[in-house]
Amino acid sequence: MSDKSNEQISNLMDGELEINASKFLLKRMASDDSLSKTWDNYHMIKSCLQKEVSEPVIDVAKSVTQQLMHETDGSLIQTNHIEKTRIHKWLKPVMGLGIAASVAFMSVVMLQKQQIKGIDNTGMENTVAQLEVTNPILKTNINATTAASDRTLIPPPSLSRFPSVNSQQNGFSQGQYYAGQGQTPYIILLNKTATNDQERQLSPIRIQDVSD
Amino acid sequence: MNNKQEINKHMSEKAIDLELVKQAQKGDIKAFELLVQRYQQKVGGVISKLIKDYHEIQDITQDVFIKVYKALPKFRGDSAFYTWIYRIAINTAKNHLVAKGRRIQNSDIEPSEVESYAGGYEKQNFDTPDAEYERQELEKAIQESIAGLPSDLKQAIILREVDGLSYEEIADKMDCPIGTVRSRIFRARDTVDNAVKPLLQKEQKRENYVR
């Protein structure tokens, strides 16, 4: 097998091997060190016979290959670095834009919250003196009503998983919660006697009768 | 007629070079290594016409092939590959001499002239006597091994390598089929290869140690 391959190498270097066999052998030699060594030695013998060399050059091919492989690795690393730099160049403005958009969004949300809070503090605090929620679902004990009208404002049902926990204990008031949701935080309750249709229609929010 | 058809089916030496160049241009360093192995002795021989120190010859030969690899994308195959390498080899050797501050006696040397150029330098060999002796031994072993070949193998290899005849011409001259010529040339090479292998291994170990 080895002799056959070596004979093919001998034929190949003299241009005496068929094209397909030549191509196949060249590929084999590129991956088989013993075959490429034979190819190397046969060429050295040829050069010595042709008096091309005064002293044979030894192992230059291996050194060249090692150096090229080393340089190729280096260029690969360099290429990767260039790619990274390119990505950074592309990413920088996008990241800047993202940060700017986030800051803008946050400031809009904060502004909205503050506006709603302002309304709560001025409008609602004047009308509601004290609210105490005992039952989150309509079982509300109201201790204060508006002086001007017989409307009563009570907080909406608690969304807490633990209805017995006071809304203040939840860490934020339900008013703040609904402000965040873009809803009016209180429900207008009407006394049975004071209820009229006009009031109901004018009210932009849900009107609920509280009857015993 | 049959012989002509047979020749057409073979991959010529130029086609082999082009095939390897094509692979090397795609980044196949191993294919390039085969090209280096094919031409390193010739390139070393060309450089030795201008530079006499063995280690300088080795280093410049290496530089030449690095330059050749880097210039491969420019090679279109208009000229023979070895002509192209020779040009690079001579320029590299000349630049080396200029850098070292040595005079180039024959600055208009052409690749075609290099092989017959005897140069004007005294031999400057800075090798140890052992190293020089080993390389001389290697060359001597090749010559002795050829001399010791059976006459049919010796005749076939000399007609091919020294006289430069084709296999067809050798077959005519030796009055035997081309297949026999192929076999005789291979057996001659194989015998010489086996004879010099131990010396080559010794030399390679020494070179690796020096580097």
Q: Compute how many other C-beta atoms are within 10 angstroms of the C-beta atom of residue A49.
A: 19
The reply to whether the predicted model has a pTM over 0.95 is: no
pLDDT per residue as tens digits for the range A156-176: 555 545 555 454 554 455 555
Is residue B85 within 8 angstroms of chain A, CB to CB? no
Distance from CA of B9 to the nearest CA of A (A): 5
Nearest CA-CA partner of B122 in B41, B50, B31: B50
The pLDDT score that the predictor gives to residue B155 is: 96
CB distance A46–B161 less than 8 Å?
yes
Phi, then psi, of A153 in degrees rounded to 5: -105, 125
Distance from CA of B6 to the nearest CA of A (A): 8
CA dihedral B39, B45, B50, B54 (to 10 degrees): 100
Beta strands in chain B (DSSP E): none
Q: Cβ distance A45 to B142 under 8 Å?
A: yes
User: Across residues B180-199, what is the average pLDDT?
Assistant: 93
Stated as kind and residue range, the H or E segment containing A130 is none
Nearest CA-CA partner of A66 in B95, B66, B53, B49: B66
Phi, then psi, of B29 in degrees rounded to 5: -70, -30
CA closest to B135 among chain A residues: A55
Nearest CA-CA partner of B59 in A58, A38, A164, A30: A58
Report residue A180's pLDDT band, with 50, 70 and 90 as the boundaries.
low
- Provide the pairing of β-strand A207-209 with A187-190: parallel
- Residue A138 in this model has a pLDDT that exceeds 50: no
Stated as kind and residue range, the H or E segment containing B171 is helix B167-174
Report residue B119's pLDDT band, with 50, 70 and 90 as the boundaries.
very low
Q: Cβ distance B54 to B43 under 8 Å?
A: no
| Average pLDDT, rounded, for chain A | 68
Percent of residues, chain B, with pLDDT higher than 70? 76
Token pair 């703040």 is found at: A176
The pLDDT score that the predictor gives to residue B39 is: 94
User: Across residues A128-155, what is the average pLDDT?
Assistant: 48
Chain A residues with beta carbon closer than 8 angstroms to that of B41? 43-44, 46-48, 52-53, 56-57
Distance from CA of A76 to the nearest CA of B (A): 12
Is the complex ipTM more than 0.90? Answer: no
CA closest to B45 among chain A residues: A53
Percent of residues, chain A, with pLDDT higher than 70? 44
pLDDT per residue as tens digits for the range A92-130: 677 788 888 888 888 888 888 888 777 666 555 555 445
Q: Which of residues 108-137 of B touch A (CB under 8 A)?
A: 115, 135-136
